[in-house]
Chain A
Amino acid sequence: MSSVLGTVRAADSGADAGDDPEARWSWAAGARRRPVIHAAARRTLGRRRRAGRLVQALCVLCAAIGLAPLVALVYYTAERGLGGLSIGFLTHAPVPVGIPGGGISTAIVGSAEIVGLALVMAIPVGLMAALFLHERRGHLAGAIRFGADLLTGVPSIVIGIFAYALVVRPLHHFSDLAAAFALAVLMLPIMIRADEEAMRTVATDLWEAGVALGARRSRVARSVVLRGALPGLVTGNLLAVSRGVGETAPLLFTVAAPSFAMTLLIYTEGTEPFPAAQQTAWSTALLLLLFVLVLSGVARLVAWHLTRRAR
C-alpha cells in the first residue's frame, strides 16, 4: 500500500509546489485565472447563444426543405392524376392514341402477375436462406450476409440486364417470367436480411429449449422461431414488396410491352409529348403511389400491432 499511495504522491509531485504562490501551477495562480475565465464566459455568452439560435433556425429551415419534396410529390400526383381516374380507367384495356376511353387494366393485371410471380420465387428462398443464416455461424454464413448487403446496393438497372441475359436472350423473347425473375433478384437480399433480423430477435434460449427437449430441429424452427419472428417477417417482406412494386429499370429489358406493367407504362406515357398520354401517366402514378404508401402503412401497422399483442 505504500506503493499505492507512493505512486499517487509521486505523480503528485507538482502538488507540493502547488502551495508556492509563485509556481505556475499553484492554487494561487489558479485563483488568478478564475476571474479571467468568468469574464471570458460572460463576454462570449451572447455570441455563443446567438450562434445557437442561428443554427437552430437553419435546422428548422432544413427540416422544412426536407419535407417539401414529399408534400410536393403527393400534391402534384394527386392533383394531376385524380382527374384521369375512373372505373373505366381501371377496367378497360389501353386503346391507340387519339381514341378516347381506354384504361390500364392490362398494366394493373400485368404488374400484379409479375410481382406475384416474383414473390413466389423470392419469399421461400429468402426465408430458407435466412433460417440458414440464423442457425449457422462460420464463413459461409458470413459470406452470404456480406453478399446480401452487397446485392442490396446493386443498381436495379444492372439487375435488369442480368435478367435479360439469363432469361430473355436464351428464350428469345421478353416475358413476365423474366421480369419476375429480375424483381425476385432485387427483393431477395432485402428479404434475407429483414428475415434474419426478425429471427434474431426471437430469444435464442427459446429455440435451444425446444431442441433440448428432443423436438425435431425442423419442428422447432417452424413453430418457435417463425411464430416469434412473425411481426418482423411480415413487415420486412411487405417493405421488400413495396420496393419491388415500384421498380421500373429491371422491367425495361424484360417485359414484353409497356402496357403490361404499370411502372413501365408511366415511363413510356410520361415521356410522350401528348397531354392524353401524360394524363395516363399521372393517373397510373397516383395509383402506384397510393398502393405503395398504403403497403408501407400496413407493414408498419402490422409490426406495431403484433408486437403489442406479443407483450
Chain B
Amino acid sequence: MVGPEVERPLVTGDGRTLGPAGAGGAGAAPAARSASAPTPASVALEAAARAPAHLDPEAGPAVTLENVRVSFGDHVAVRNVTLALPARQVTALVGPSGCGKTTVLRAINRLHDHTGGRVEGSIRLGDIDVCAPDTDPELLRARIGMVFQRPNPFPTMSILDNVTSGLRFNGIRNRALLREAAESALRHAALWDIVKDRLHQTALRLSGGQQQRLCIARALAIEPDVLLMDEPCSALDPVATAKIEDLITHLAAEVTIVLVTHNMFQAARVSDNAAVFLLDEDRVGELVEVGPTVEIFHSPRNERTKQYVTGHVG
C-alpha cells in the first residue's frame, strides 16, 4: 500500500476536527493545532504532508480535454475546458452548483449521447478519441467506471449480480472469473467482509453508505482505467462520507479518479489536483484554474479562484 498507515483526524464537512489532533505522521501541520478555524488551504497542506504524492513521471495523463464545450440546444452549459487528468491521481472538479462540473464529467463517458447534449472539442482517454463518431460508446464506457450522486444499485439484482453486472453486460460468462472479480472489487471497496455471507440477498438491505460502496465495487469490477465520481457523498451522512473518502485515497494508488464535489474541504482532503469551475458573466460555466490542490487552495494564481477559495470560509 502506498503511504504509511496514518491515523488521520476526522475532518467533518464544515472543517471541524474530531478525534486526536496531530496524532502520528511526520510533522503534524501546525494548522491542526492553530486557534483559527481550518481552511481548505490548511486542510490541503495537512493532507499533502501526510500522504506523499504518488508521482509517476512516465505515465502520461489518463484523460485530456481540450477546448471542450457542452451545449444543450442553444444554451451553452460549460465551455473553455482544457484539462489534463493525471494518471493514478485524484483530480477534483470543484466549484459552486451549476457551473458545469457534472456536465464535463458526463462528457468523458459520453453519457450526453442520451441527454441531448452536444459536446465540442477534444476529449481523449489515453489514445482513444472519445467524441469521434466511430468510437463505440459501449466499449468506451467499459473502460470507465462511474459512481453517481445517489447510490443506485440495481434494485432487482442481488449483491453479487450487482457487482458482476458490468462484466456480464460485456459478455463475460465464466463463473469463476466473475466470482474472482466480484470478490476483488468488493475487497477494494472495503465491503467484502460485510457482504460475503449474503451475496445473494438484495442490495437494498444495505445502508446508504454501504450501497454507495457497492456501486463503487460495481464500477471497479470492470477494471476501469478511470473512475468518475459525481458527488458520491452528497447523499450520505458524515460517517459514511469519511469511509468513502478514505476509500478514495486508497484507490487512487491504482486507479485514476475524477471527483466532482462542491465541498472544498472534501477536495482539500482527498484530491491531488483540483480544477475550479465558476460561472462567467454570461452565466455559463467555465474552467477557471487547474493545478495541484495545495497550490489551488493556498496560492491560486487566478483572482476569481482566490475569491472563491477564500470566500467560502468567510
Contacts and interface: CB of A to CB of B under 8 A. Distances in A.
Interface of A: 1-2, 4-5, 7-16, 18-19, 24-27, 29-31, 33-34, 36-38, 40-45, 48
A37 B177 CA distance: 10
A15 B242 CA distance: 18
Contact of A45 (B139, B181, B187, B223): B139
B254 interface: yes
Contacts of A12: 187, 190, 250
B19 interface: yes
Nearest to A49: B138
B208 interface: no
A1 B170 CA distance: 40
Interface SS of A by simple majority: helix
Contacts of B18: 1
A34 B167 CA distance: 10
A37 B243 contact: no
Given A25-B184, A31-B223, A40-B171, A15 B250 contact: yes
B306 interface: no
B142 interface: yes
Contacts of B246: 5, 8
Contacts of A7: 243
27 contacts: A1-B10, A1-B19, A1-B20, A2-B7, A4-B10, A5-B8, A5-B10, A5-B246, A8-B190, A8-B246, A10-B193, A11-B190, A12-B187, A15-B188, A18-B188, A25-B180, A25-B187, A27-B188, A27-B254, A36-B172, A37-B222, A40-B170, A41-B170, A41-B171, A43-B171, A45-B139, A48-B171
B35 interface: no
B190 A15 contact: yes
Contacts of A24: 180, 183-184
Contact of A13 (B181, B193, B247): B193
B100 to A, nearest CB: 30
A2 B8 CA distance: 9
B67 to A, nearest CB: 29
B262 interface: no
Contacts of A19: 1
A37 B19 contact: no
Contacts of B7: 2, 5
B59 interface: no
Contact of B223 (A1, A13, A15, A37): A37
Nearest to B17: A1
A41 B139 contact: yes
A45 B136 CA distance: 9
Nearest to B254: A27
A33 B250 contact: no
B313 interface: no
